Amino acid sequence: MPISSYYAASANPIIEHPALERELSADVCVVGGGIAGCSTALHLAQRGYRVALLEANRVGWGASGRSGGQALTGFASGQRKLVQQVGTDAARLMWDISVESLSLIEHLVREHQIDCDLHPGTLHVALKARQRAELLQEVDETQRLYGYEKLRFLERSAVEALLATHRYCAGVEDLGTWHLHPLNYTLGLASAAHASGVSIFESSNVIRIRPGESPVVETARGRVKAQYVVLCCNAYVGELAPSLRSRIMPVGTYIVATERLGEARISELIRRNIAVSDVNFVLDYFRRSADHRLLFGGRVSYSGLNHLGTAPVTRRRMLNVFPQLADAKIEYAWGGYVDITMSRAPDFGRLQNNIYYLQGFSGHGIALATIAGKLIAEAIAGQSERFDVFARLEHRNFPGGRVLRTPALVLAMMWYRIRDLL
């Protein structure tokens, strides 16, 4: 089913891949054609593995092709939770890997000539004094404990020099990050993987995995026998791996794209081409498009997507930031699911010795999913130290089981929404 997003409307020419309608053998079968799956397939192929990638819809159909497009350092959980679980040294290694992910994105884009509107810089902004103090502490800890020197703290006047709004009292600019066209980036990774020898199959929903010394991955019309399987399904893992599904919550998020505003007007709103997000729990995020639109995302749904309310509700949030856009039309509105974990830390591991999985990126998927594919390739090749540091993280099931976990989370999130207002 196609997604009527701005990204789909501005996508690069798309290579259509066939459905799997036969039996084949591979060294590795990757399930899922998003950033994680395409990066995994590409890095394995570059190591000489025979790889088959199965995607239930089209490459980039899920969150990888619909997101806000920000490639960030760190983790949604924050570093303190990681230190509590795995200790200082392991948490430092995780941080260094997250920083490496940004360099990896730049390398892949340049090596494979991926046309994805890649630009440096993101800005996290505070709406109140409490949040300003938290940003200051974050800058201090990141520089002091992790030696990361690419953060720049901005007071209100410096934020207002970048953004035509009085909504924010402070901000932190991260000069080591990127923003990009996420669908074109994902398509570019898939194209690079295909050129490296990966067999990609679309419209090939996996209905069953038969574990064993050589697992068999089955679709309705075909099957892949492999030495290893990598699950990169994230919010769409469903019944394929119930134990994984119980540890993530699919959260609906929403984005709109205005009409073309023209270069002068969009450059007045965001005076340098950086991506912006606030630090509320239910956050707003926005950036410029290549054709001078404002892309604005905000609000979440823990009870399911509501596409009918996407445009008017998200537009109201946009006008809270930029009231001068009251006359601007919304030309695209879409939503999608992001998978979160209870801790907001990523969930990487093995279901069995030869069945790996990646999930729980919790809003940091562009950067983390890219580097996670490299970590999987290292692990399958026998160098698992970096992958295993993530596998040490403990993850709890969402409470309430299949029936009550969504209502329970909705109630819990009410507290965070209230806290954003305090």
Could you read off the pLDDT of 385-417 as tens digits, one per residue? 999 999 999 999 987 655 555 555 554 555 445
Per-residue pLDDT at 228: 98
Q: Taking residues 319-334, what's their average pLDDT? A: 97
3-state secondary structure the chain: CCCCCHHHHCCCCCCCCCCCCCEEEEEEEEECCCHHHHHHHHHHHHCCCCEEEECCCCCCCCHHHCCCCEECCCCCCCHHHHHHHHCHHHHHHHHHHHHHHHHHHHHHHHHCCCCCCCEEEEEEEECCHHHHHHHHHHHHHHHHHHCCCCEEEEEHHHHHHHECCCCCCEEEEEEEEEECCHHHHHHHHHHHHHHCCCEEECCCCEEEEECCCCCEEEECCCEEEEEEEEECCHHHCHHHCHHHHCCEEEEEEEEEEECCCCHHHHHHHECCCCEEEECCCCCEEEEECCCCCEEEEEEEECCCCCHHHHHHHHHHHHHHHCHHHCCCCEEEEEEEEEEEECCCCCEEEEEECCEEEEECCCCCHHHHHHHHHHHHHHHHCCCCHHHHHHHCCCCCCCCCHHHHHHHHHHHHHHHHHHHHHC
Where does the pLDDT of residue 302 fall: very low under 50, low under 70, confident under 90, or very high at 90 and above? low
Where does the pLDDT of residue 336 fall: very low under 50, low under 70, confident under 90, or very high at 90 and above? confident
Q: Taking residues 73-80, what's their average pLDDT? A: 95
Where does the pLDDT of residue 196 fall: very low under 50, low under 70, confident under 90, or very high at 90 and above? very high
pLDDT value at 311 more than 90: no
Q: Taking residues 357-380, what's their average pLDDT? A: 97
pLDDT value at 73 more than 50: yes
Per-residue pLDDT at 181: 98
pLDDT value at 310 more than 90: no
pLDDT value at 47 more than 50: yes
Per-residue pLDDT at 326: 98
pLDDT value at 422 more than 80: no
Where does the pLDDT of residue 420 fall: very low under 50, low under 70, confident under 90, or very high at 90 and above? low
The CATH H-level superfamily of 6-391 is FAD/NAD(P)-binding domain (3.50.50.60)
- Of residues 299 and 227, more confidence is placed in 227
Per-residue pLDDT at 251: 83
**What digits encode the pLDDT tens for the residues 79-88?**
999 999 999 9
pLDDT value at 421 more than 80: no
Where does the pLDDT of residue 298 fall: very low under 50, low under 70, confident under 90, or very high at 90 and above? confident
Per-residue pLDDT at 415: 44
Considering the chain, what percentage of its residues have pLDDT values greater than 70? Answer: 91
> What's the chain's average pLDDT?
92
